[in-house]
């Protein structure tokens, strides 16, 4: 009859696992996950989704609206719009994932060090973050991006990473500060575990959840930020193909060629929405306190 | 209290120095020759160029230039543009627009965000909760400029309720639509924060105490839960106001509002480094000061952090 | 727990062994509270009956998770539902069933006729309101007093629970008080409107031993003065012995023993009570281990069949795995829910 006695420490990971398994029964999660997978597939293998070459253009078709065989019509250069939008997925998704993963790692490492060691390490990391945080985001992004002669996915990502890590760092630092003073961490220290061991096997695993939750919600925001910067003319540049570029080119033609704005907007919005909802469901599963 | 304010002001100095230096160095590193940009297509004699370079300390090292700038700043001088106009004057022209837009948007955002958050918390888990949150998420997903266009088209062109662009109609008519766009776009995080904070407070023991006292549900929520749930929200609202006051670049450009954000973009495009630095410094100062004010307000709602 | 057991226990308690005395102020009969969890519906309180008369102090004893606090909150009507649901029973306060009262009348009784003292005074007080305002709120809600009148009465009340310099401390916030003083404020809040019954839920658990005694004295003294019924919920037998006359022992949502506190100490009639009493430090030979009850209380979602206590019971027999013992009179007006109560303490 001993199995009727549930010891509490074992219950926590079990609850997390239950939460993740419960996700599959949530329609919002399933739908957003499927859409996300579709976008990932489009980013990885655009050729599977269209057989038209996005760069095969003819000015004769400039701005022509949807027709059979070209359901999204043509852009101002007379290129097939559907093909361009599909090929544009790669830029947005790569930037979204790259920036999120990189800022996650930076935030975890620096937040972990600053929170755990405190003192000088914390001083240097936190003041640097304060300065980065004090920079008005759009202004700083515009200035920095202007320094690159040619802006591609990597340079735009780099700027978003440099400007984006402090938020997560502060978050991580806060949760490490809490965990660091918990009794089992103190116990591990007293029992003679080294800093590396305590940090890696006790502190980090128990303080990462809030950061993971924050970051899952961020992919969508990064995708939207890239599009906004590109729209302002400081993000990606041709010959890159991206939704931001398409919208930026189309926005002055809004009245004459509405399809040029509508289609990339739908792709962009749906991508952001799918990532946000996905992040939200994961948050609920990992951090059930909020429900 | 005064001591605390002074300490906080002193703590702001290194951040201000760090941030302005960063901007300064970045602008310094921008490609292109500012003198050539200034001259446009007028030919300049080498002696004029030399004189101009000296006037703007362009031949000095980055450090010296920054030193000149900071000494000027200490006297309230934000520098001049290439036509000799003080940057502070340029900002003064633009500031009312940004200020009106930011404040209007901020108030709308508070009404929408806190309204949705409170509604969601009180009906948590039910259909209305999901719909309200979903509504705010839709606006995050819609790219800002696309949403701005749609608003412009529907309310300006088709319904003709508001001017399409510009500030000819003054406050409030010219500002309502762009402010609403900003408010809706940024309301979602506020709604979430409000909701989760209120949900947590409603579960706390002192809410149970209030109910055990026989307080009616409305009294429990508005008299006991609200103020406590606003504690984390106030910090966020401060950050949000500070960010808005830095200029809403995209909305300003779509609605053709001559605000600080537009000034910044324009200065970058025309490579007027001194204006970029001056405006950035101003925006950072506003940001830091608003945050300080918010920190002080914090004590008003949470007696536990009140400083004597 | 399966349906058969549940049906059975309903039958058991439907014929109460000792009908609560007619002089009772508060009469709880067959109270049942379920929680809706992700693992399904669980019985947190499963057919609990007791009564309190004016001037009587009843101790409700049990470990955490035994359903004591849920019982208190169910009586007060402040359970969060969902997830909690009161699925049966009645709570008669001077003959009126609080459970079936319309919401407004229920609220009117709450805080004025029946009041609750919470365990953790720091979290039980609103952190952003001055303490006197929180006491004054009772006068404002139930007596319709104006701000200044209510405030004056609140300060009086603080004085009565012997908070030094009450008038000058009235504007202070909860975090500015010591634990003992805060608990006095919580008690002042409960006593403000002269309730007929006060339920104190672990009122001294968070306090130092010396302060504990002061708070218990204060409660006992106020109770004598006002002739109110006091229900003292605690896991601490020492606390119960200090103020209570009668006791019920709860285990896994049920009452397993009902006795006078004195009898409970000297001669428990349930193996669980026996374990509790035996684990109190007393004059034991130096070096001998303090007896403890092995195992842990069952979780709500994994209740054993039969007697809830059998997995931890030294007297358990095969019968205990299948037959749930009803709470029956055993001797001297006492009740026990054990098939083998005569063997308790023999060993």
> What pLDDT, in 10s, does the model give residues C196-255?
999 988 888 777 888 888 888 888 888 888 889 999 998 888 888 888 889 999 988 888
Confidence of residue C327 (pLDDT cuts 50, 70, 90): confident
- Between C299, C304, C310, which is nearest A6 by CB? C299
Chain C contact for A2 (CB, 8 A cutoff): yes
B159 and B232: one domain? yes
SS3 A44: helix
B30 and B108: one domain? no
Whether A59 shows a pLDDT value over 90: the answer reads no
B302 and B217: one domain? yes
Q: Which residues of A touch B143 (CB under 8 A)?
A: 224, 227-228, 231, 247, 265, 268-269, 272
Average pLDDT in the C277-303 region?
72
SS3 C256: strand
pLDDT above 90 covers a percentage of chain C that reads: 9
Q: Tell me, what CATH number does A265's domain have? A: 1.10.3720.10
Write the CA distances from A236 to A230, A232, A240, integer angstroms.
5, 10, 7
Whether C93 shows a pLDDT value over 80: the answer reads yes
Of A237 and A70, the structure prediction assigns the larger pLDDT to A237
For residue B105, the model assigns a pLDDT of 94
ipTM for the predicted complex comes to 0.78
Average pLDDT in the C148-154 region?
91
Report yes or no on B79 lying in a domain.
Answer: no
Distance CA A285, CA A19 (A): 5
Average pLDDT in the A233-239 region?
80
- Span of A80-89, C13-22, C218-227, C325-334 with lowest mean pLDDT: C13-22
Average pLDDT in the A83-92 region?
86
Chain C contact for A8 (CB, 8 A cutoff): no
Looking up tokens 């969902």 gives C82
Report yes or no on B179 lying in a domain.
Answer: yes
CA distance C300 to chain A (A): 10
Confidence of residue B297 (pLDDT cuts 50, 70, 90): confident
Whether B106 shows a pLDDT value over 90: the answer reads yes
Residues of A (268-287) whose Cβ lies below 8 Å from B: 268-270, 272-273, 276-277, 280
Are A247 and B143 an interchain contact pair (Cβ–Cβ within 8 Å)? yes
Chain C contact for A6 (CB, 8 A cutoff): yes
Q: Which residues of A touch C307 (CB under 8 A)?
A: none
B93 and B62: one domain? no
Report yes or no on A3 lying in a domain.
Answer: no
Whether A290 shows a pLDDT value over 60: the answer reads no
- CA angle centred on A150, ends A146 and A154, rounded to 5°: 95
Distance CA C235, CA C256 (A): 14
Distance CA B276, CA B271 (A): 8
Count the neighbouring beta carbons within 10 Å of the beta carbon of residue C232. Answer: 28
For residue C80, the model assigns a pLDDT of 80
Indicate the angle between helix axes B273-301 and B260-269, nearest 10 degrees: 150
Q: Which residues of B touch C126 (CB under 8 A)?
A: 206, 209-210, 224, 228
Of C12 and B146, the structure prediction assigns the larger pLDDT to B146
Q: Which residues of B touch A142 (CB under 8 A)?
A: 249, 264-265, 268
Whether C14 shows a pLDDT value over 60: the answer reads no
Q: What is the tens place of the pLDDT at every residue in B237-264?
A: 888 888 888 878 888 888 888 888 888 8
- Span of A47-51, B224-228, C298-302 with lowest mean pLDDT: C298-302
Whether A248 shows a pLDDT value over 50: the answer reads yes
Report yes or no on B80 lying in a domain.
Answer: no
Q: What are phi and psi of C305, to 5 degrees?
A: -80, 175
Of B300 and A5, the structure prediction assigns the larger pLDDT to B300
For residue A208, the model assigns a pLDDT of 82
Whether B103 shows a pLDDT value over 50: the answer reads yes
Chain C contact for A24 (CB, 8 A cutoff): no
- Span of A205-209, B32-36, B159-163 with lowest mean pLDDT: B32-36
For residue C288, the model assigns a pLDDT of 67
Are C302 and A3 an interchain contact pair (Cβ–Cβ within 8 Å)? yes
Residues of C (85-144) whose Cβ lies below 8 Å from B: 107-112, 115-116, 118, 120, 123-129, 134, 137-138, 141-142
Q: What are phi and psi of C256, to 5 degrees?
A: -105, -20
For residue A289, the model assigns a pLDDT of 53
Range of the domain at A90: 34-286
* Complete edge-to-edge strand list for the sheet that includes strand C57-61: C114-117, C197-201, C229-234, C57-61, C246-251, C254-260, C335-336, C328-329
Are A136 and B280 an interchain contact pair (Cβ–Cβ within 8 Å)? yes
Report yes or no on B196 lying in a domain.
Answer: yes
Q: What are phi and psi of C2, to 5 degrees?
A: -95, 170
Report yes or no on A40 lying in a domain.
Answer: yes
Of B258 and A3, the structure prediction assigns the larger pLDDT to B258
Q: What is the tens place of the pLDDT at every residue in A111-155?
A: 888 888 888 888 888 888 877 877 777 777 877 887 777 888 888
Confidence of residue A18 (pLDDT cuts 50, 70, 90): low
Could you tell me which chains touch chain B, where touching means 3 or more CB pairs under 8 A?
A, C
Radius of gyration of chain B (CA): 24
CA distance B113 to chain C (A): 23
Q: Which residues of A touch C296 (CB under 8 A)?
A: 5-7
Whether C15 shows a pLDDT value over 60: the answer reads no
* Number of residues assigned to chain C: 347
Find the residue in C nearest to B225 (Cα). Answer: C126
Residues of B (225-284) whose Cβ lies below 8 Å from A: 243, 246-247, 249-250, 253, 261, 264-265, 268, 276, 279-280, 283-284
Q: Which residues of A touch C311 (CB under 8 A)?
A: 1-2, 4-5
Write out chain B in H/E/C secondary structure.
CHHHHHHHHHHHHHHHHHHHHHHHHHHHHCCCCHHHHHHCCCCCCHHHHHHHHHHCCCCCCHHHHHHHHHHHHHCCCCCECCCCCEHHHHHHHHHHHHHHHHHHHHHHHHHHHHHHHHHHHHCCCCHHHHHHHHHHHHHHHCCHHHHHHHHHHHHHHHCCCCCCCCCCCCCCHHHHHHHHHHHHHHHHHHHHHHHHHHHHHHCCHHHHHHHHCCCCHHHHHHHHHHHHHHHHHHHHHHHHHHHHHCCCHHHHHHCCCCCHHHHHHHHHHCCCHHHHHHHHHHHHHHHHHHHHHHHHHHHHHCHHHCCC
For residue A129, the model assigns a pLDDT of 83
- Between B27, B261, B284, which is nearest A143 by CB? B27
For residue C5, the model assigns a pLDDT of 42
Q: How many A×B Cβ pairs under 8 Å?
A: 118
Confidence of residue B306 (pLDDT cuts 50, 70, 90): low
Confidence of residue C290 (pLDDT cuts 50, 70, 90): low
Q: Which residues of A touch B124 (CB under 8 A)?
A: 291
Find the residue in B nearest to A254 (Cα). Answer: B149
Residue A159: closest CA among A211, A246, A240, A228: A228
Are B249 and A140 an interchain contact pair (Cβ–Cβ within 8 Å)? no
B189 and B63: one domain? no
Report yes or no on A150 lying in a domain.
Answer: yes
Highest-scoring range by mean pLDDT, B22-26, B202-206, C307-311: B202-206
Q: Are C267 and C345 in contact (CB under 8 A)?
A: yes
Number of independent structural domains in chain A: 1
Asked if residue C83 has a cis previous peptide bond (ω within 30° of 0), the answer is yes
Are A228 and B250 an interchain contact pair (Cβ–Cβ within 8 Å)? yes
Whether C17 shows a pLDDT value over 90: the answer reads no
Are B146 and A265 an interchain contact pair (Cβ–Cβ within 8 Å)? yes
Could you tell me which chains touch chain A, where touching means 3 or more CB pairs under 8 A?
B, C
Question: Which neighbouring-strand residues pair with C43?
Answer: C34
Boundary of a domain, candidates B45, B74, B103: B74
Whether C20 shows a pLDDT value over 50: the answer reads no
Average pLDDT in the B276-297 region?
84
For residue A8, the model assigns a pLDDT of 34
Boundary of a domain, candidates B31, B50, B74: B74
Residue A84 CB contacts under 8 Å (≥ 6 apart), including other chains: A54, A75, A241, A246
Distance CA C194, CA B170 (A): 62
- Span of A53-62, B125-134, B187-196 with lowest mean pLDDT: A53-62
Report yes or no on A194 lying in a domain.
Answer: yes
Average pLDDT in the B285-293 region?
84
- Contacts for C53-56: CB closer than 8 Å, 24+ residues apart: C53/C21, C53/C23, C53/C24, C53/C25, C53/C229, C54/C23, C54/C25, C54/C196, C54/C227, C54/C228, C54/C229, C55/C223, C55/C224, C55/C227, C55/C228, C55/C229, C56/C229, C56/C230, C56/C245, C56/C246
* Number of residues assigned to chain A: 291
B17 and B135: one domain? no
Number of independent structural domains in chain B: 2
Report yes or no on A16 lying in a domain.
Answer: no
Q: Which residues of A touch B239 (CB under 8 A)?
A: none
Q: What is the tens place of the pLDDT at every residue in C113-146?
A: 899 988 877 888 988 889 999 999 989 888 888 8
Report yes or no on A141 lying in a domain.
Answer: yes
Report yes or no on B183 lying in a domain.
Answer: yes
- Between C299, C301, C304, which is nearest A1 by CB? C304
CA distance C304 to chain A (A): 7
B54 and B183: one domain? no
Q: What are phi and psi of C192, to 5 degrees?
A: -50, -40
Of A12 and B102, the structure prediction assigns the larger pLDDT to B102
| Mean pLDDT taken over chain A | 78
For residue C283, the model assigns a pLDDT of 63
The full DSSP string for A144-193 is HHHH-SS--HHHHHHHHHHHHHHHHHHHHHHHHHHHHTSHHHHHHHHTT-
- CA angle centred on C37, ends C31 and C40, rounded to 5°: 90
| Mean pLDDT taken over chain B | 82
Mutate to test the interface with B, among A130, A136, A259 (most CBs of B within 10 A): A136
- Between B214, B223, B302, which is nearest C107 by CB? B214
Q: What are phi and psi of A79, to 5 degrees?
A: -95, 155
Residue A13 CB contacts under 8 Å (≥ 6 apart), including other chains: none
Q: Which domains does chain C have, with CATH numbers?
A: 1-113+195-284+291-347 (3.40.50.300), 123-194 (no CATH)
Boundary of a domain, candidates B17, B49, B74: B74
Q: Which residues of B touch C194 (CB under 8 A)?
A: none
Q: How far is CA A206 from the centre of its chain?
A: 23
pTM of the predicted protein model: 0.79
Tokens of B211: 């109910």
B17 and B162: one domain? no
Find the residue in C nearest to A18 (Cα). Answer: C38
| Mean pLDDT taken over chain C | 82
* Number of residues assigned to chain B: 308
Residue C190: closest CA among B212, B211, B207: B212
Range of the domain at B39: 2-74
Confidence of residue A98 (pLDDT cuts 50, 70, 90): very high
Residues of A (135-174) whose Cβ lies below 8 Å from B: 135-140, 142-144, 146-147, 149
Could you tell me which chains touch chain C, where touching means 3 or more CB pairs under 8 A?
A, B
């Amino acid at each position: 009859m001993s199995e009727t006695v549930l010891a509490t420490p074992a219950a926590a990971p079990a609850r997390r696992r239950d939460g993740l398994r419960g996700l599959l029964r949530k329609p919002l999660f399933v739908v957003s996950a499927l859409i996300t997978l579709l976008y990932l597939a489009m980013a990885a293998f655009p050729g599977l989704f269209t057989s038209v070459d996005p760069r095969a253009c003819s000015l004769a078709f400039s701005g022509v609206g949807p027709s059979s065989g070209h359901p999204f019509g043509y852009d101002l250069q007379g290129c097939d719009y559907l093909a361009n939008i599909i090929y544009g997925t790669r830029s947005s998704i790569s930037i979204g994932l790259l920036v999120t993963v990189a800022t996650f790692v930076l935030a975890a490492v620096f937040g972990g060090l600053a929170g755990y060691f405190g003192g000088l390490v914390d001083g240097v990391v936190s003041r640097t973050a304060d300065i980065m945080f004090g920079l008005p985001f759009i202004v700083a992004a515009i200035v920095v991006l202007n320094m690159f002669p040619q802006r591609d996915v990597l340079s735009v990502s780099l700027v978003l990473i440099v400007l984006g890590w402090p938020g997560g760092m502060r978050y991580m630092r806060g949760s490490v500060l809490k965990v660091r003073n918990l009794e089992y961490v103190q116990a591990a220290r007293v029992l003679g575990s080294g800093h590396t061991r305590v940090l890696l096997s006790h502190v980090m695993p128990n303080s990462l959840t809030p950061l993971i939750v924050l970051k899952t919600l961020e992919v969508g925001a990064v995708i939207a930020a890239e599009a906004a910067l590109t729209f302002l003319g400081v993000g990606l540049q041709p010959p890159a193909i991206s939704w931001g570029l398409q919208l930026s080119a189309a926005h002055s033609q809004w009245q004459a060629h509405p399809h040029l704005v509508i289609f990339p907007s739908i792709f962009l919005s749906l991508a952001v929405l799918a990532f946000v909802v996905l992040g939200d469901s994961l948050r609920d599963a990992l951090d059930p306190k909020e429900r | 209290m005064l001591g605390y304010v002074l300490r906080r002001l002193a703590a702001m100095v290194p951040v201000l120095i760090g941030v302005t230096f960063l901007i300064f160095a970045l602008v310094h590193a921008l490609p292109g020759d500012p003198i050539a940009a200034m001259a446009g297509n007028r030919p300049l004699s080498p002696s004029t160029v030399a004189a101009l370079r000296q006037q703007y300390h362009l031949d000095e090292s980055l450090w010296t230039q920054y030193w000149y700038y900071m000494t000027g700043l200490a006297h309230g001088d934000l520098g001049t543009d290439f036509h000799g106009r003080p940057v502070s004057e340029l900002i003064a022209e633009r500031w009312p627009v940004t200020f009106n837009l930011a404040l209007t948007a901020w108030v709308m955002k508070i009404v929408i965000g806190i309204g949705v958050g409170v509604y969601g918390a009180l009906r948590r888990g039910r259909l209305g909760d999901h719909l309200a949150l979903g509504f705010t998420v839709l606006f995050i997903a819609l790219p800002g400029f696309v949403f701005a266009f749609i608003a412009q088209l529907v309310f300006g062109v088709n319904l003709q309720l508001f001017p399409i662009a510009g500030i000819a109609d003054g406050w409030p008519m010219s500002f309502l639509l762009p402010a609403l766009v900003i408010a809706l776009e940024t309301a979602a995080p506020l709604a979430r924060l409000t909701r989760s904070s209120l949900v947590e407070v409603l579960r706390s023991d002192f809410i149970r105490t209030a109910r055990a006292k026989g307080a009616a549900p409305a009294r429990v929520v508005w008299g006991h839960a609200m103020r406590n749930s606003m504690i984390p929200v106030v910090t966020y609202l401060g950050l949000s106001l500070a960010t808005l006051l830095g200029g809403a670049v995209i909305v300003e450009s779509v609605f053709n509002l001559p605000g600080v954000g537009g000034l910044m973009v324009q200065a970058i495009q025309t490579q007027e480094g001194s204006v970029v630095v001056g405006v950035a410094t101003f925006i950072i100062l506003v940001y830091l000061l608003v945050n300080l004010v918010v920190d002080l307000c914090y004590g008003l709602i949470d007696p536990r952090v009140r400083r004597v | 727990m399966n349906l058969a057991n549940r049906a059975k226990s309903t039958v058991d308690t439907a014929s109460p062994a000792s009908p609560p005395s007619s002089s009772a102020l508060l009469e709880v009969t067959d109270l049942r509270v379920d929680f809706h969890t992700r693992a399904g519906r669980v019985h947190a309180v499963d057919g609990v009956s007791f009564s309190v008369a004016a001037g009587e102090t009843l101790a409700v004893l049990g470990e955490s998770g035994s359903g004591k606090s849920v019982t208190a909150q169910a009586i007060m009507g402040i359970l969060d539902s969902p997830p909690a649901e009161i699925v049966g029973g009645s709570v008669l306060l001077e003959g009126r069933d609080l459970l079936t009262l319309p919401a407004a009348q229920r609220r009117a009784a709450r805080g004025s006729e029946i009041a609750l003292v919470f365990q953790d005074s720091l979290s039980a007080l609103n952190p952003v309101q001055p303490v006197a305002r929180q006491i004054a709120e009772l006068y404002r809600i139930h007596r319709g007093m104006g701000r200044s009148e209510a405030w004056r009465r609140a300060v009086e009340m603080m004085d009565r629970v012997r908070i030094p310099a009450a008038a000058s401390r009235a504007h202070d916030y909860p975090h500015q008080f010591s634990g003992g003083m805060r608990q006095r404020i919580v008690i002042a809040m409960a006593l403000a409107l002269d309730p007929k019954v006060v339920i104190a839920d672990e009122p001294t658990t968070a306090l130092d031993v010396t302060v504990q005694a002061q708070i218990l004295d204060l409660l006992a003294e106020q109770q004598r003065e006002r002739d109110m019924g006091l229900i003292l919920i605690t896991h601490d037998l020492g606390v119960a012995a200090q103020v209570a006359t009668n006791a019920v022992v709860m285990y896994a949502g049920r009452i397993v023993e009902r006795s006078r506190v004195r009898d409970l100490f000297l001669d428990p009639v349930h193996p669980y009570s026996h374990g509790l009493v035996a684990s109190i430090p007393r004059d034991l030979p130096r070096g001998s281990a303090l007896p403890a009850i092995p195992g842990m209380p069952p979780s709500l979602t994994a209740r054993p069949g039969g007697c809830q206590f059998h997995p931890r019971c030294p007297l358990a027999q095969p019968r205990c795995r299948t037959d749930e013992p009803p709470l029956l009179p055993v001797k001297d007006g006492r009740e026990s829910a054990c098939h083998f109560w005569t063997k308790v303490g023999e060993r």
